[in-house]
Structures are given as structure tokens and as C-alpha cells.
Structure 1
Amino acid sequence: MDENDIRGLVAGVKQGTLSRRSFVRTLAAVGITAPIASQILLWNDVAMADATLEYKPTKAGGGGPLKLLVWQAPTLLNPHFAVGTKDQIASRIFFEPLAGWDKEGNLFPCLAAEVPTKANGGLAADGTSVTWKLKQGVRWHDGKPFTADDVVFTWTYASDLATAAYTTGSYKDIKVEKIDDHTVKVIFKDPTPFWADPFVGSVGPILPKHHFGEYAGAKSRDAPGNLKPVGTGPYRFVEFKPGDMIKAERNPDYHVKNQPHFDTLEVKGGGDAVSAARAVLQTGEYDFAWNLLVEDEVLKRMETSGKGRIDVQPSGNVEFMILNTTDPWTEVDGERSNAKTKHPSLSDPAVRKAINLLIDRDSIQKYIYGRGGTATASFVNEPKRFKSSKLAYEFNIDKANKILDEAGWKMGADGVREKDGKKLKYVFQTSTNAPRQKTQAIIKQACQKAGIELELKSVTASVFFSSDVGNPDTYTKFYCDMEMYATTQPQPDPERFLNQCVSWEIATKDNKWLGRNVSRWSDPEADKAYKAAQKELDPAKRAALLIKVNEIFCEANILVPLLSRTNVGGCLNNLMADLSGWDVTTWNLGSWYRS
């Protein structure tokens, strides 16, 4: 299929002779993924579908309680501080962006009246600006009107380095102008091929100026709204016990007709993935369980009860390890793992290469994750046009031993290699969860056969993924030699996802460890390619630049991908939930209903 064929299909969709779904399926048959197919339609001014879930209730309310389990318990409710997915999920209940991403990778308007296109005047032809028209009649939970002033304020709030927001990277290099009370214009410094980042998806929720206006900058952590949100979402805040529970009630003034269906909402945190799966699939005590990081065979047995089902959504998420090239045991400028330091042994490329060869990805996929992931050597796996065809994995203990021998790491009498008085002994941390502990054990066993000793450390998930700047065990602090977790690709385009690989995003004490680059490693060529990709309007050239960034970090064995992850959730059989692998679980919570 060539460019002319695609143009013909696009014309068919515009004329109504071909459905949008048929268009997506036709392109998928020749290797063009659904998110990319949908982007082609968007850039050709073809309207997106109104929803991904057919909503059947004819009035709001009447659905009784909705009970969710987010076993990695949320600790705050400000989306711009939400480092962990659990906090992004919780925040999105109350705060909404201008648009989100549906399961097919389409932009779906939320607080925006429509998705910007060239045809409706929203997208500048030169790629330097996007104009958003806002929904009218939307009110904050306290009754105040939502206006363009709130959007402009959110930009000033998130772009202020003193605020130390997790989302700063999406806002600091743009300018936002108020056109009128219901129109804003986002201006980019240069032509920007991927404009749907600010105010979109997990980084995009809008904050009310009248609640946060006095708490921008250095006072940002003192805002009452961080824990008692006033948003525009389908449910209004009732109660929050950090690390435990959220209670909310139906928003009677919600801006979507006949939504939400449920009268009350409870989000319960704590526990573990297995007990969460059991509470939905076996006992039916809860309606939905998030992120069922449980061995697939266990989930299949639970499904036989007939009460619930597993919902698997393709995504760009990845389970991976980071090998620390900084020194996690020496404090410099008030922090460990300071980018100015050098790791005693993991700074040696040979050691990192050997460790990568000691990971049996195929067994991890087959015996642990099943439907939950596919073995990979690439940090970016979806959409396929952004995945490297060059990166490949191998499990080879003999080759790992040879590499270490040639690098001068001699086997000691205790079975641990050493060189210049430095031993290959590491602390390997991850969150407390059975699949991750089993993965750790598989890697440890192989490393022992190559003279590498691993001390396994597991941290309670609510702590490991916490946004608490005072906690030394969060994954962003990285106070250990190696760590493993899954990271979320928040949109079908990997540009923002790959800012984990640039020097200006390094996590530090100064930015309260909210920088996206947790590894602290950087490469001038990766920085150069990333900056070029941000301005490159040619899709093929841009994809090549982003692939280069991915390859630099993976070939250096800084980021060591294990599995391309799917989103696995558990639903009661009568729950209709609109889930997306390109956005957070609660991205369209108002549309959920009981059949």
C-alpha cells in the first residue's frame, strides 16, 4: 500500500463510503497500527468518533455505588505532582484535561468543545500553534464557571520551575494566550509536529485558578486542593485518606449529558494485586481492579468463577530495569545518585552488557506475565513505526562470562567477580509484587552463574511510587544499584515518553526528584536527536530521530527493557468500562455504567 492508496481510503472516509473503523482495520492489515491510522485521519481533518463505549443509560444517576480497587494506594490528588500512575488515576477522577486518548489512540474532547484540526482552524499550517475552543457551561464543583483563565493559569502554574511539577516539561517551552473566555491559543517556539501534549491526557488536567492561584511556585505544596480537589469531573470530592481510600459522589452538574451513571464512588487502596483480583473475579466485592500484575495462570483460574473478566488493553507501557551509572551510596550536595558521581562498577559498559545477557526474558513472559506482556529489547514498542528494528535480546550466560573475563573482572574465591578491589555486588530493588519478585529471582539466579551477586529489595508499592519528596525509597530517588518497574507511555506518540532520556529532565533534589530522567545518564547525541525530533514535520524523519534516542539508551544498557506491557484490569461481568491503553484508567470514568 502506497501513499496514493492511503489518500484514497481517507477520501472514502470523508465521503462516508468507508467507515472509520474499516479504515483503521485496513491499515492494520498492512502493519500500520490503529493509533497511527487515527492520526492520519486527524491530520486530514476527518472527525473522530464521539466515544469508544456506547453509553446506554438515559439519565444520570441511579447506578448505586461504584467500587474500584487501586492497590497501589494514591497519596495525593494533584495531577501535576502525580509521579506514579496511581496518583494520576486518582487525580483524574476530579480534574479533567482538554482532551484524552481513547483505546484506538484517537483524541477525545473533554473540556474542549472539539478536537483542533486544520479544517476547523485549530491547527496552524506551519505547526507553530494550536487553538482550543472550550466547552461552554462547564462549572467547577463549587459552582464557579470554567473559563480560559483556568487554562492559562494551569500553564503558568506547571511551567514555573519553582512549582516543581511533574508535568513541567510539557509546559515550560510554550506560550498560552487567552483569545476570549472560551478560546485559548497554544504557541510553540518552533514548528511542533506533536502538538497534542499540553492540556492533553495525563499531563493535561486543568486546575481552577480560584483555588490554586495563591499556591503557584514555591507555595505549591501547601495548596489545600492537593488533597481536597475541586474539579470539573463526573464525581465530587467527599473524603480522602492518603494511602487508603477516596470517597466521592455524583456531580449533578456534570457537563456530559446523562453522565455519570453511578451515585457514589469509592476507590480503595492498599493490599496487593492478587487480593485485588480475587475481590473482583472471585468474590465480586468490587466492580473493578486496576493493574492486575498477577501471574496469568492465577488470573485464568480466578476467571472460572464466572463473576468477573480480565480486560486486556494494548499500550505503549514497558517493564524495564535501570542500571545506575551514578553512585547511590555516596552523598553529594545533599543527595545520593547525584549525576556528578560515578558508579564503582556499573559505569563500566562491559558490566552492563553482561547483565543484559543474563535476563531470560522469554521465561519471564511465558511463566509469569502471559497476557500481561511480550518480551522485548526496545524501550518503545508501540506504535510499531516508532519501534527499533535493530534492537534484539539474547539470554547467554557463557557470553556474559566471556565479556566480564575480557574486561578484567576476575572471579573471586567467594564466587563474586572483582576488579581493583570493587566487587560486582548490587542492591536490586522493585515494588512488592509477586511477578516482580519472581522476575528478580530469575535474574538473580542467572547473575550468580556469572559471578554477580544481587541483594533483592522490595518496597511497598504505595511507597515506591510515592510522590513524597522525603521518602528515600521512591523509584525516582534511585538510591540503589538497579531497579525495575513499568513506565507508562501516556499517548500514542512517544516524544514525551522519551523525555526520560534527555539531560534536562534528570531527577535531582532541586526539582524534588520529579525530573523524568530517573537514570541520571545522558548522551549528547540523544539530546540532539530528541531536540531535532521536536521540530521535524516529516513523519518518517521524525520517527527515525526518536528511534535513535531509544537505541542510544538501550544499546548502552542504561535502560534494559524486559516486556512490552499490556494494561490488565479486572471487571465484574456487568460493568461496562471505557478503558484505554493510551491514557489513565479513569480517563473517561463518567461513561462507565452497569449493564
Structure 2
Amino acid sequence: MTEARANMGRAQRFFVLVIALLFAVVSHPAHSADRTLRLFFWQAPSILNPHLAPGVKDQTASRVVYEPLASFDAEGHLVPFLAEEIPSLTNGQVAGDGRSVTWKLKPNVKWSDGVPFTAKDVVFTYAYITNPDVGSSSIGTYKSVDKVEALDDLTVKVTFKDVDPAWALPFVGIQGTILPEHIFAPYNNKAAVNAPPNLAPVGTGPYRLKEFRTEDVLLIGDDVVNTVKIIYEPNPEYRDRARLGFDEVTLQGGGDAKTAAKAVLGTGVVDYAWNLQIGDAELQELEAKQIGKVALYFSSYVERLMLNFTDPNRETSDGERASLQFPNPILADAKVRLALAKAVDRNKIAALYGRTGRPTANLLVAPVLYNSPNTTWEFDPDKARALLDEAGWRDTNGDGIRDRNGVPLTLLFQTSVNPVRQKTQAIIGADLAAIGIRVEDKQIDSSVFFSPSPDILNTSQHFYADLEEFATGNKSPDPGSYMVKWTCAQAAQKSNNWSGLNESRYCSDKYDALFHASETEIDPEKRIGLFVAMNDLLIAHSAVIPIVEWANVPGLRNDIVGFNPTPWDSETWNIADWRRKP
């Protein structure tokens, strides 16, 4: 009976495989494997509108089609896409008073449906992103903008509300991609989220959408993986079509990180795989097959231990927890926070990441000019114990847990469900137990922990715990929109529907003064100094404990060249340059 069932299972898998392969052959008879670029995401993209994208996977899939005026390369230099040239003080396109910038656009650019691209599309994109009914995820980049004007078909002027040293953020990078007015104008309203163009994009980029399949399969070794499949073809209106390396690009989404790693490194059935979040030992074992390689690069992301400055257990009269009215009874003490910083073994945690992580003392690590040379970290449990003694936390009953006024020193530590993070919780729990602190762990599904919904309680924004762990970083070389999250006004609270960026509710007048000075400082060196000072203040206050600087971990087949990732845009930003070696 068991053998019969096994045979039946094999037959069913074979039937599914045959149907899938026949479908692939019938659908794409004209393209050889060498002329098809195969991308794989273990989280399936659900939308192809970069300004409504819920995650990096959706932005990366959208970037194949859409382009910004310019983008930043890995060194932080601006590279023109739809712009004819990069504005500067020298060419007069950046105003001397820092209140406006003028962009000259490339002539003769067309959308993939043949309609001319003009400055009116840039003006429309601004109106769309900043329309509250649309609910764009890109809106933060445009908060400093007062107005956007089309001076003529090929000239756009952006005027800011005040002096803006970060003039190069609007219309730059993934959050600067331009949408066609003639396609999206009917959906510049509450209908935006369900607009048909979200799954049928019309762009100026090197490839255009051919088909979006919500159900497909991918064969990886003996495994059949259910996927979403997006098929692109060369954009016939692209200004430099002759240099494109492929006749077709396919993007499949599904499975998990191990599946993706096996697909690109172990079997080579795909050419690129996104975000290979598995152990480095497993990656190296797959790389030994010499089919593919890990193309890791460090960016701005830092895995950090966040400390809650408010009391997650006490409620206000109207039922608000973690309110600014009630400081955290343990972590409001700077000595306790410093003790935690000295008790965490960052080298041991970094070892979990292998090549893909390195310990750091800084919260702001990129670009390199902002990575402070003034900070250090040390693993010193004895100093941590002494600090807790000074703070009045002692083990008075011999149970191994410190207490004060009869209250044991216990901290609740939450993070998302992730194998590396659970191992990190175990390391930190052991480190803190060694200095007399009991840690209670809580794991939350990623879809809940990172949910933007104010109605879901177990999120990083509500932060109903003492400690939480996640990674984030600045999305552009200008760290203003990243460092603003530590200002007092950004505290996530019930009054702002938990939309504030400051999850820990840290507040410092000195920090706020540094940040506000950065908003109008147009001297680049002085501005760098202000951001370094902000980072140093956070570390000095032990407001947060940076743990590991993350590397991005895409995988590539060995015969793919031209992949040149930047931390400041999607990994497909230069897909027009990708080629397959003969």
C-alpha cells in the first residue's frame, strides 16, 4: 500500500512537471535559454507599482519597467536616467539659496506604448505620490517639496518649503520613479490601490511587461515549486534597445530562501536570486558546485537591539500602553542601558552571519563618510555587572536574578520569526542571564511584526516589550529621512495612530537640535558632521544597541555579468547592462 501511494505521488509530480514544461515550451518557443534572463524571488511580488509597493520584492520587480530622473550608484554619485544631466551649482540647476532644483530631461524618450515622456509626467507623479487618497509608500521623500512645475516639455523645477540640502532625493532612486500621466490619471484617488495599471505597467525602462501569471511552477532539482511568474520583453521604445542583453526576462516568486539558493547556486535553473537569507555555511557548500556565486555587498542596514523608553505594561486612563506619560521603570536608567550594551557579545552574533555580517558600534554606517570613527563597542560582562550594582539592581535572594525593591530584573524581548534572529535571542538571553537579568523571548510572524496596520498590536511600532530586534537603514546616501526617526516628534503613539517612526520613544533636546540644524545646513562637510554627532549621541546614551552591519546577499549564475548593485536603489536598477557571457 505504501509503495503504491509513493508511485502515485511520483506519477502526480511527473504529470505536473510535464504540464509545466509543455506550457513553458508552448508559451515561449522563440527564446533560447541563453537569451532569457531568469530572476527568482522567494517572496512573490504582488504589485508592479513602485509607489504602492509593500516591500523590496515589489520595488525590484517594478524597477525593470520604471525609471527615475537619476539614481545613486554604490559610491553615492548621481547617475542620470531620464535626466539629460545632473543638476549642480556649477551648471546653475541647483539654486544658490538651496530652495530649488531644475532638472533637464532627455529628449525623444517615449513610454513603452509610444506616448512621449514629458515634464508633465514628472509633475503628475508628484501629485500622485503626495495625494493622501493614494496612500503612497514614497510620500516621505517629498515632504520637503513645496511645488513641482513643468517649465516646458523637457524642464522641471522643484521648489522646496525651505532650504533643502537633500535636493537630490525627490525623483531619484526607486522612490523617484516616474509614472505616465496618461495611464494613471484616472486612478489618482482612492481607487489607486486596485488600479489595473498596478499589474500592467507602462514604463520607459529597458523591458516592458508581457504577462503576469498568478500561478506557475518552477522545477528545481526534483522539486516543483508553485510560483507567480512575471514575463518581460524588450521595450520597443527604449532609447538604447540595441545594447540589451536578453530577448526575455522572467521573474518567478515563491518557495523560500533555501529554495532560491538551490535554484541559483545548486542547479543553475535561474540566473539571479534575491535575498539568500540562509546560513553562510550552506551558501558556501552550494557555491562549491561552481554553478553560481553569492554577490554580497554591504549597505546601510544594521541589525539592532531597540530599547523601549516607555512602559509597555502600564496603561493610561484611555487604555494606551507604552505611553510617553510613563517611562520604562528599568530602561529609563542610563546605567542599565549601558550595562546591556556591554553585556551583548556582538562578535558571537556576527558569527551567525559568516561573510554576510560584521559587528558594528554605529547605527549610521553608510555612506562611509557618515560612519563615525568616534565610537567603539566592547563585550565586558564585569563592567556590566558593576553598572547594575550602581543602579541598585542586586541579587538579594540568591536566585541568580537581580532585583530592586522586591521587583526582579526581567525584560521581554520580541522579534520576528527568523532562524538567525531566534539564535540571536538565545545568545542575548544567555549574555544577560550571566549578569543577572532574566529575559523572556517572544517571536512574532513577520507579516504581523512589520505590519503598518495600527489595529495590529504585536508590531514593532506598538513595541509592547522592553527589547526588540530588527534591521533597517537609510534608503539613500542622504540619511535625513533615516535619522529623523529618533526625534521627539516622531514617537509612535496612539495620538498619531502609531505611525511615528520613533518606535523606542527616545527623546533628547540635544539630538533634536542637531537634527534640525541638518535640515538647513547646505555645507556638505558640516552636514556630515551633524549626522555623525547624532549617531554618537545615540550611542553615548545607549539609546539603541547596534549589533551587526548587514550585507545584501543576492545570488548569480557564474555566466551573468554586468550586475552592479547599489544600496540606494533596487538590484535591477541597471538591468539594461546585464549580459550572459558566451
Give the TM interval when normalised to the shorter protein.
Answer: 0.7 to 0.9
Matching residue's letter, 1:587: W
- Residue 433, structure 1, aligned to residue 418, structure 2: yes
CA contact (8 A) 1:166 1:515 kept: no
- Residue 245, structure 1, aligned to residue 228, structure 2: yes
Shift of 1:269: 3.9
518 and 229 in structure 1: CA distance in 2 versus 1, 3 angstrom threshold: farther
In structure 2, the partner of 1:27 is: none
Shift of 1:253: 2.7
How far apart in 2 are the matches of 1:512 and 1:86? 27
- Residue 587, structure 1, aligned to residue 576, structure 2: no
Identify which of 185, 195, 198 aligns with 2:167: 195
474 and 241 in structure 1: CA distance in 2 versus 1, 3 angstrom threshold: farther
In structure 2, the partner of 1:279 is: 263
CA contact (8 A) 2:144 2:162 kept: no
Identify which of 496, 509, 521 aligns with 2:506: 521
Secondary structure at the counterpart of residue 317 of structure 1: strand
- Residue 395, structure 1, aligned to residue 361, structure 2: no
Identify which of 430, 450, 463 aligns with 2:435: 450
Secondary structure at the counterpart of residue 521 of structure 1: coil
Secondary structure at the counterpart of residue 299 of structure 2: coil
How far apart in 1 are the matches of 2:499 and 2:81? 27
Deviations 1:463-514 (A, max 9, x none): 5445566655554454443222221332333233322323444446677755
Secondary structure at the counterpart of residue 430 of structure 1: strand
Shift of 1:148: 1.8
Secondary structure at the counterpart of residue 282 of structure 1: helix
How far apart in 1 are the matches of 2:309 and 2:281? 37
How far apart in 1 are the matches of 2:325 and 2:269? 51
181 and 382 in structure 1: CA distance in 2 versus 1, 3 angstrom threshold: same
Q: Where do residues 502-581 of structure 1 align in structure 2 (5 Å cutoff)? A: 502-507=487-492, 515-576=500-561, 577-581=563-567
In structure 2, the partner of 1:169 is: 140
How far apart in 2 are the matches of 1:257 and 1:120? 30
Unaligned segments of structure 2, at least 5 residues: 1-30, 216-225
How far apart in 1 are the matches of 2:378 and 2:428? 13
- Residue 68, structure 1, aligned to residue 42, structure 2: no
Shift of 1:586: 2.0
In structure 2, the partner of 1:138 is: 109
Q: Where do residues 15-414 of structure 1 align in structure 2 (5 Å cutoff)? A: 64-82=35-53, 84-160=55-131, 163-174=134-145, 175-216=147-188, 220-226=192-198, 229-237=201-209, 238-239=211-212, 241=214, 245-250=228-233, 251-258=235-242, 260-328=244-312, 337=322, 342-365=327-350, 367-411=351-395
Secondary structure at the counterpart of residue 80 of structure 1: coil
192 and 474 in structure 1: CA distance in 2 versus 1, 3 angstrom threshold: same
How far apart in 2 are the matches of 1:87 and 1:420? 52
Matching residue's letter, 2:38: K
How far apart in 2 are the matches of 1:248 and 1:511? 41
213 and 454 in structure 1: CA distance in 2 versus 1, 3 angstrom threshold: farther
187 and 278 in structure 1: CA distance in 2 versus 1, 3 angstrom threshold: same
594 and 305 in structure 1: CA distance in 2 versus 1, 3 angstrom threshold: same
In structure 2, the partner of 1:56 is: none
Matching residue's letter, 1:185: K
Shift of 1:303: 1.2
How far apart in 1 are the matches of 2:255 and 2:320? 31
Shift of 1:523: 2.4
CA contact (8 A) 2:121 2:178 kept: yes
Secondary structure at the counterpart of residue 79 of structure 1: coil
CA contact (8 A) 2:384 2:435 kept: yes
Shift of 1:356: 1.4
In structure 1, the partner of 2:13 is: none
Secondary structure at the counterpart of residue 162 of structure 2: coil
CA contact (8 A) 2:257 2:277 kept: yes
Shift of 1:446: 0.5
How far apart in 1 are the matches of 2:187 and 2:495? 19
CA contact (8 A) 2:40 2:260 kept: yes
The structure having more radius of gyration, on CA atoms, is 2
Matching residue's letter, 1:239: F
Matching residue's letter, 2:309: T
Secondary structure at the counterpart of residue 316 of structure 1: strand
How far apart in 2 are the matches of 1:209 and 1:256? 23
Matching residue's letter, 2:486: C
415 and 67 in structure 1: CA distance in 2 versus 1, 3 angstrom threshold: farther
Secondary structure at the counterpart of residue 258 of structure 1: helix
Secondary structure at the counterpart of residue 548 of structure 1: helix
Secondary structure at the counterpart of residue 372 of structure 2: coil
Matching residue's letter, 1:553: L
Shift of 1:141: 4.5
Indicate the larger mover: 83-92 or 446-455.
83-92
How far apart in 2 are the matches of 1:532 and 1:187? 20
Shift of 1:158: 3.0
How far apart in 1 are the matches of 2:428 and 2:33? 50
Shift of 1:179: 0.8
Indicate the larger mover: 434-443 or 501-510.
501-510
How far apart in 2 are the matches of 1:513 and 1:586? 33
215 and 468 in structure 1: CA distance in 2 versus 1, 3 angstrom threshold: farther
How far apart in 2 are the matches of 1:331 and 1:228? 47
In structure 2, the partner of 1:44 is: none
How far apart in 1 are the matches of 2:252 and 2:313? 36
CA contact (8 A) 2:52 2:193 kept: no
TM-score of the superposition, structure 1-length normalised? 0.80
In structure 2, the partner of 1:19 is: none
How far apart in 2 are the matches of 1:144 and 1:558? 52
Percent of paired sites with the same residue: 43
In structure 1, the partner of 2:469 is: 484
The two structures, once aligned, show a CA RMSD in angstroms of 3.3
138 and 245 in structure 1: CA distance in 2 versus 1, 3 angstrom threshold: farther
How far apart in 2 are the matches of 1:514 and 1:83? 15
263 and 544 in structure 1: CA distance in 2 versus 1, 3 angstrom threshold: same
Indicate the larger mover: 73-82 or 483-492.
73-82
How far apart in 1 are the matches of 2:456 and 2:248? 33
Shift of 1:590: 2.8
How far apart in 2 are the matches of 1:197 and 1:67? 31
Matching residue's letter, 1:400: A
Shift of 1:337: 4.5
Unaligned segments of structure 1, at least 5 residues: 1-59
Matching residue's letter, 1:588: N
How far apart in 2 are the matches of 1:328 and 1:304? 48
